[in-house]
Chains A and B, each alone.
Chain A
Amino acid sequence: MSGGGEHGTQTVPHEPVFVGEKRAELDRLFSLYPTKQACLLPALWMVQQTRGWISESAIAEVAEVLGLTPAYVKGVVTFYTMYHTHPVGRHFIQVCTTTPCNICGAEDVVKALLRETGCGELGATSPDGRFTVIEVECLGACGFTTPILVDDDFIESVTPEKVAGIVKRYP
């Protein structure tokens, strides 16, 4: 695997993800689907959970283990909003601002998050590398406005007042 061709800042050679335990986990996944291609979304999740984001070289590795082309895999990666194609902060915060949350004050929660995390703007990573905040469409918890996802923690009923306390929990 070559580590070249990164569009980001990563220049170190690519450490393969699918070795040892991860390889065994992937092999187990193969037995659950009639095609290897069907394991693409789960494999991409494995990469993101291991590396934090999905680099060009990781895309090449996934393509190789699944018998696909890197271009094809990239097309799939970029279709789905939850895959990161560039590095993000140590904690990734997703805030719902779709209509039901919007009418209950979600935009104020966004402002509080951008302020308390030091991110300043949506999509940017805070200078200390701790946080990235993005707005997302409906998180499916509209009765408990405003829901946010901090990494894999789904937090309901967030108000601007609660934001500082939540941010503190993620060093």
Chain B
Amino acid sequence: MGYPHPSHPKETLVLSRHFGEPEARSFDGWVKRGGYEGLRKALGMSREEIVEQVKASGLRGRGGAGFPTGLKWSFMPKEAVKPHYLICNADESEPGTFKDREIMRWTPHGLIEGCAIAAYAIGAERCYIYIRGEFTDPWQIMSAAVEEAYARGALGDNVFGSGKRIEMVLHRGAGAYICGEETAMMNSLEGKRGNPRIKPPFPAVSGVFGMPTTINNVETLAAVPHILVRGAEWHKSLCLGDPKSTGTKLISICGHVQRPGNYEVTMGTPLKEILYDMAGGPPPGRTIKAVIPGGSSVPIMTRAEAEEALFDYEGIVAKGSMLGSAGMIVMDDQTDMVYQIWRLARFYAHESCAQCTQCREGTAWTTRVLERLLSGKGKEEDFQLLLDLSDNMTGKTICVLSDSCAAPVVSGIQKFREEFEAYIQGAREPAMAAV
């Protein structure tokens, strides 16, 4: 379990500062690095003060949606009449994204600390950490850390002698991308099929077990202790672009770059620096053709769009895509875009929970039409057919899984139409046998 690359001078190391240091995984090792100061500080504050501080920091959800974290916490009832729950979303499954895994593997106590602060801030005495079933190493490391945190008084009936009770339970998923969607995760945690729920009611009103619930991503929660220790102003000052995007962001870069891995940057860092300086650019002799900047569910960017973008929520939107989970997939000039868009469509067809017709049918038909194209049997009308299917899959379902399937298809046709044409016109050898 090695950490693949040394840090780059242009990175801003906050969450990833201790990646690669096995000692940071232990309670004492974490405390030696300033750990649990944030929790101790939080326990001396009121719930409202913590929420206000996180609001003022500008921290936004790092799982994909970018919703302001403090605001989300403020939706929870002020008085805990019924039990409140915190769920930490560690179901990281968005293709291209592998940052939460590293947080859990290297700084488990940082996550536990963030969860404990958040639980206290929302009036919850119990936090469930939902870890995807495939993450066997993070599971073991987190299990050991939670056990140690209980033994050392950071969790339990009387956290650090404050009289406050915070319990933490690890819950293992069993293979379902959709369970990363917050309402599907709540159903899964309740022992049900992972079908997303219609909102409202929103989780803060009626979440898991019908109780007020907040769900936050691993990276979001891991950022919280740093805000408590260093202050909202410090967090706000980490900003090179739009003032609505603050703090640092872990970026997972994969695909055709020379140094794939996780890089932590200040919000607003030029994407070009990330692609070329940090990740080393494409392999020698190649050029970048396309970048999917925020996990597979966001529109594909051309090289020009990517090279001009600032890496923050607004900067990526301005160039026609979304920051999402910041799982960045880089594709070089040798990449068959039609084949890879088909592979993405197949992913969504496989992962559809099949609840909504538009998604169940749409993802499957999109996949089949793309297979027809790839087998050399495509027709000009297939462009319109794919766009019509995508239109039916956008904004019409309970969750956004089908929207996510449509995003690469629509942007792919817009930006790489000639590659589709090549298959239709027979200028390119079929990539698969006829179906």
Contact = CB atoms under 8 A, between A and B. Distances in A.
Interface stretch (A15-23, A120-128, A147-155, A159-167): A147-155
A140 B296 contact: no
Interface of A: 32-35, 37-42, 44-45, 66, 68, 75-76, 79-83, 94, 97-100, 102-104, 136-145, 149, 152-154
Contact of B169 (A32, A94, A137, A138): A32
Contacts of B340: 99, 102-103
B374 to A, nearest CB: 13
B93 A140 contact: yes
B96 A81 contact: no
Contact of A80 (B4, B176, B253): B176
A138 B343 CA distance: 11
A144 B350 CA distance: 23
A104 B190 contact: no
Interface stretch (B70-78, B191-199, B413-421): B191-199
B132 interface: yes
A41 B173 contact: yes
Contacts, number: 144
A143 B347 contact: no
18 contacts: A35-B190, A35-B209, A80-B133, A80-B173, A80-B174, A80-B175, A83-B175, A99-B344, A100-B96, A100-B255, A104-B256, A136-B134, A137-B351, A142-B260, A143-B4, A143-B253, A144-B4, A153-B136
A44 B176 CA distance: 15
A44 B335 CA distance: 41
B130 to A, nearest CB: 10
B296 A99 contact: yes
A102 to B, nearest CB: 5
B57 interface: no
B208 to A, nearest CB: 9
Given A41-B188, A143-B254, A103 B101 contact: no
Interface residues of B, number: 54
Given A34-B209, A44-B174, A103 B255 contact: yes
A81 B177 CA distance: 10
A142 B327 contact: yes
B172 to A, nearest CB: 6
B174 A140 contact: no
B426 interface: no
A35 B171 CA distance: 14
B180 to A, nearest CB: 10
Nearest to A142: B254
B37 interface: no
A134 B73 CA distance: 41
